[in-house]
Structure 1
Amino acid sequence: MLPFKLSHVTAGFIAMLVGYTSSVAIIFQAIDRLGASAAQANSWMLVLGLGMGLSTLFLSLRTKMPVLTAWSTPGAALIALSAGLSLPEATGAFLFCALLLIATGLSGWFDRLARLVPDTLANAMLAGILFSFGMKIFDGIGTDAALVAVMAAVYLALKRWAPRYAIAAVFLAGLSYVALTGGFAGARLPLALAQPVFVMPDFSVPALIGLGLPLYLVTMSSQNMPGVVTLRGDGYEPDIGRAITVTGVTSLLLAPFGGYAFNLAAITAAICTGPEADDDPATRYKAAVFAGAFYVGVGLMGATVIGIFVILPPALVLTIAALALLGTIGNSLSAAMSARDDREAALVTFMTTASGVSLLGIGAPFWALVIGLTVRLALRRKSPGQAA
């Protein structure tokens, strides 16, 4: 008997697929803004895949929990919007951010802060993050309604008769439909292993303050906090300080080659922490192990992987991600609304997160917690022992 299930392989593969396709375009924009060469661009894709894969493998195997890591998507957007920085100056800023991440992980303060967030609000934030992503299935309907309909029909059929294999069947059905309708006709993929390219960092004070510090702040508030919430939402309590330290060390080692910042994953982690990955929470870490292995594999292939993600229809990726997250979205919403006294605060937290609002360069999840905690404090009922 195999030591893993098909659902582990499927969840790991979909997590990798979503991790790349959801934000790889932003990575390309960041690379272009810094004036990187084609070889340096391939180096970025290599080390980003290796960094996510190896850190995910280490944390998941060490903790026996589905702890996934990811590149910092808001960090990539920040790089893409930066102006006047050379690649060596940006590399120096990446190293500075990595040192801040390591210091944060070793201090343990972020772990203590995360535990102050009530479970209801944490689940509401997670539901808002995943809801925004799941809603993109309707973008897929607008571009290729027939493909989405085929995948949805297969999902409903398998969900009723063989739920464990539903997501795998949906993905295969989507690929088959695209192939039969000529979607892959004429596609050619370069087959070559990527090579790392070292960039000597230049520690410029304006770059450290203008890019390194903001990169650290958005990675912590918009990535690591949702990542913690995702794990907690499905009942996992890893050593958050150690996990952030691992992502910081990974960033430090790979920054000169293009690994600008790594953090705990949220959306991709939810694919591996939920019931779709495995009915048994104790063995869901195997889905994360497969995700890590897939990350390593696609990272090594560099330009080939870029070509694959270019030819996959966006509707296919959006649909498979949305269907894979349905269970986690439902569970998170249910948990968020379970406590009557916290219901309004949780609802506001969910709505703020789902809105995608950004203030001062900080994303919606952070502000959702700030606003939700404020509402909860304002509406908290006094206990019977308190004076009126």
Structure 2
Amino acid sequence: MKHLEKGVGLATAPRDFLRDLNVDNLSAGVVAGIFGLSAGVIHISAGTAAGLPQEFTLLWVISYLFINGLFGLFLPAYYRLPLPVANSIPGALLFAAIIPVVGLNEALGATLMAGAISLVIGLAGWMSLIMRLIPMPIVMGMVAGVLLKFGTNMVAPLGSALLPATIMILSFFFAARYLRRVPPLVITLVVGIAYMALSGADFSSVAFSFKMPEFIMPAFSLQAFLAYGLPLALILVGMETPAGVGLVKGMGYQEAPANAITTVGGIGTMISAFFNLHSTCIAAPMTGICSSPEAGTHDKRWVAAVIVGIIFVVAAPFYGFVFSLIEAMPSYFIAIIAGLALLRVISSAMHITFSGKHEVGAMFSFLIAVSGIQIFGIGASFWALVLGVGLSMLVEFRDFDFSEERAALRKRFPANHPG
């Protein structure tokens, strides 16, 4: 436990939450929460494509929201940082694909082992060393590449839904210019909903339902671990934590707790394995929304992440209803809201990527992340970091400064470094 970063604590968190709550962090939290709820569509699509029963996919999403929502209440509150918790989307795609091959119980057993690996790495303090070995321009190149699609998805509706897309996007910038006291995202949400109501959106298919997560016992097999558990551990440690920490640091929070984030993710992933869920980790796109300037003053943005946790926990049992409501909305609605919320984050990530050292590594990290390639079943975000760092070491080795790493190793292993 000595390697875990110290936080503010939870004793005064409820009082501080009410003190720091304002319209800016509330609106950012609501937008991030809506974005997280809509991500359940990805799980359902992946489950359908893999031929998994609809009952399974619904329970999967309910567990995703409920368990990660609980962790998302405590992590940002303890550190007073915008650290929303969700699950790994690349991990979700792997999870859905491996279940027909090895079985659900064996896949969950591999999830349990992946969580244990993350837990050990976080508790041992290795994550902070790993983060120092991955230069910030390369991390932000990966982040910019991942988030770029949210920007392109925001403008894509201009080709198919010109009028509503134009109205929503312009409302954001008009609000930013002329309505300084009202967050632009709130105005855009209201304008978008009003347009749908006036244009006669069909909500007749919206249906009420209530269901809680269900316990299931994992089983273990070497095949499941090698095909899914080990890649999942690599994704959690090598992609999800660096992406989330990179975003938080890019928004000016220099003391992001990389070891604690990895530890909490490991514990959450191990618990998830007993409830039909594949992972718990920091949520990169939602971190971008909650840590952005749209979330208000720097020291109060943590409230937005807690609001995400509240939305997840409350919405989880009713996700069947939430899903039918999201399905009734035009697809452009979420795409435009998410793109506008991440606009300044994408800009900041691009600036950090291309304005310093490691230019070649950062560029390739960005391009690989944008490409969406998969190698050995592992997604582009992971390979963007691995290949970006590797290429930078090959052609830009002088840009690396390993003095901090050598000092950290001397401190940790004094017997091996007497000098």
TM-score (norm 2): 0.83
Q: Which deviates more from structure 2 when the two are superposed, residues 289-298 or residues 349-358?
A: 349-358
Task: Judge conservation of contact 1:43–1:302 (CA < 8 Å) in 2.
Answer: no
| Match of residue 241 from structure 1 | 259
| Match of residue 336 from structure 2 | 319
Task: Judge conservation of contact 1:124–1:336 (CA < 8 Å) in 2.
Answer: yes
| Match of residue 304 from structure 2 | 287
State the SS of the aligned residue for 1:349.
helix
| Match of residue 123 from structure 2 | 106
Aligned counterpart for 1:257 among listed residues 243, 263, 275:
275
Distance in structure 1 (CA, Å) of the matches to 2:393 and 2:226 = 34
Structure 1 residues 254 and 378: CA distance shift in structure 2, 3 A: closer
| Match of residue 74 from structure 1 | 90
State the SS of the aligned residue for 1:186.
coil
What is the deviation of 1:344?
4.1
State the SS of the aligned residue for 1:360.
coil
Q: What are the equivalent positions in structure 2 for 1:109-258 lying under 5 Å apart?
A: 109-163=126-180, 164-190=182-208, 192-236=209-253, 237-258=255-276
| Match of residue 24 from structure 2 | 7
State the SS of the aligned residue for 1:135.
helix
Structure 1 residues 92 and 21: CA distance shift in structure 2, 3 A: same
What is the deviation of 1:113?
0.7
Structure 1 residues 34 and 88: CA distance shift in structure 2, 3 A: farther
CA RMSD of aligned residues (A): 2.4
State the SS of the aligned residue for 2:83.
coil
Structure 1 residues 122 and 196: CA distance shift in structure 2, 3 A: closer
Structure 1 residues 378 and 312: CA distance shift in structure 2, 3 A: same
| Match of residue 372 from structure 2 | 356
Task: Judge conservation of contact 1:34–1:86 (CA < 8 Å) in 2.
Answer: no
Identity %: 28
Task: Judge conservation of contact 2:118–2:262 (CA < 8 Å) in 1.
Answer: yes
Structure 1 residues 123 and 215: CA distance shift in structure 2, 3 A: closer
Q: Give the residue type in structure 1 aligned to 2:274.
A: P
How many aligned positions are there? 379
| Match of residue 411 from structure 2 | none
Distance in structure 2 (CA, Å) of the matches to 1:90 and 1:381 = 40
- Alignment of 1:55 onto 2:71: yes
Distance in structure 2 (CA, Å) of the matches to 1:204 and 1:297 = 35
Q: Give the residue type in structure 2 aligned to 1:119.
A: M
Q: Give the residue type in structure 2 aligned to 1:92.
A: G
Deviating above 6 A after TM superposition, structure 1's stretches of 4 or more consecutive aligned residues are none
Structure 1 residues 343 and 85: CA distance shift in structure 2, 3 A: closer
Aligned counterpart for 1:90 among listed residues 103, 107, 117:
107
State the SS of the aligned residue for 1:115.
helix
Distance in structure 1 (CA, Å) of the matches to 2:26 and 2:313 = 15
Structure 1 residues 325 and 35: CA distance shift in structure 2, 3 A: closer
Q: Give the residue type in structure 2 aligned to 1:334.
A: H
State the SS of the aligned residue for 2:172.
helix
Distance in structure 2 (CA, Å) of the matches to 1:214 and 1:374 = 19
Task: Judge conservation of contact 2:112–2:269 (CA < 8 Å) in 1.
Answer: yes
Q: Once the two structures are superposed, what CA deviation does each residue of 1:262-287 show, in whole Å capped at 9, x if it has no partner?
A: 11111111001110111x21111011
State the SS of the aligned residue for 1:235.
coil
Aligned counterpart for 2:387 among listed residues 362, 368, 371:
371
What is the deviation of 1:357?
2.4
Task: Judge conservation of contact 1:221–1:363 (CA < 8 Å) in 2.
Answer: no
Structure 1 residues 67 and 186: CA distance shift in structure 2, 3 A: same
